[in-house]
Amino acid sequence: MAALEAIGLVELTSIGVGMKVEDAMLKAASVELLVARTICSGKYLIVIGGEVSAVRASVGAGAELAEDALIEERVIPHVHPAVFPAIGLSVAVPDEPVEALGVIETFSASSVIEAADAAAKAASVTLFRVHLAMAVGGKGFLLMVGDVAAVEAAVEAGAAVAAASGILVSQFVIRGPRRELLEECI
């Protein structure tokens, strides 16, 4: 499998069509399946990663097959490497006390990935969760930790990307979060 450098998403109104589209996407190019599942309101979300050209080919094949069931298709090229494990929920929160917790909430799964990418590129933070649409009404949210200045800069950068598209729900920084709050987020 080639390096993960881009993320592609396809969101559909139909679960059955979603499974058919997922199969076509995986056959169209050498990509890695990051997420494929039902999401709120009976929709289906497919998220893949890989080289930019492979991701574009895969998303294109899926969108073409989706027809009227397509809600959104998006390719996000040159994604910061920290975004991929955060989508997979495989990042541990540091054991030492955390200075700040940053949160960005958006109206869509694809927009929260773009916000996460911008946040990771803006400051030295640990992205530990990129939550995509499941059990949150189709929205997405991003959680990051680090020192206060870095988290503030990262939240500002990520929120600006989401706000520019009109899909920012909320953004905030919690200084000195209690460990219980972080554990609840994992």
Separation between Cα atoms, residue 86 and residue 92, nearest integer Å: 9
- Give the predicted TM-score (pTM) of the model: 0.82
**42 domain-assigned:** yes
Q: Give 109 or 74, the one with higher predicted confidence.
A: 74
Mean pLDDT, the chain, rounded, equals 87
Q: Give 141 or 61, the one with higher predicted confidence.
A: 61
pLDDT value of position 90: 65
Same domain, 60 and 111: no
Same domain, 62 and 87: no
* CATH number of the domain within which 29 lies: 3.30.70.1710
Contact (Cβ atoms closer than 8 angstroms) between residue 125 and residue 89: no
pLDDT value of position 141: 85
pLDDT value of position 88: 67
pLDDT value of position 25: 96
Q: Quick one: DSSP state of residue 68?
A: G
Domain end, chosen from 76, 91, 122, is at 76
Domain with 112 in it: 83-185
pLDDT value of position 138: 63
DSSP string, 99-125: SEEEEEEESSHHHHHHHHHHHHHHS--
Q: Give 23 or 35, the one with higher predicted confidence.
A: 23
Domain end, chosen from 41, 76, 111, is at 76
**1 domain-assigned:** no
Same domain, 92 and 177: yes
Total domain count for the chain?
A: 2
Q: In the predicted model, what is the mean pLDDT of residues 27-50?
A: 87
- Is residue 121's pLDDT more than 70? yes
Domain end, chosen from 76, 98, 115, is at 76
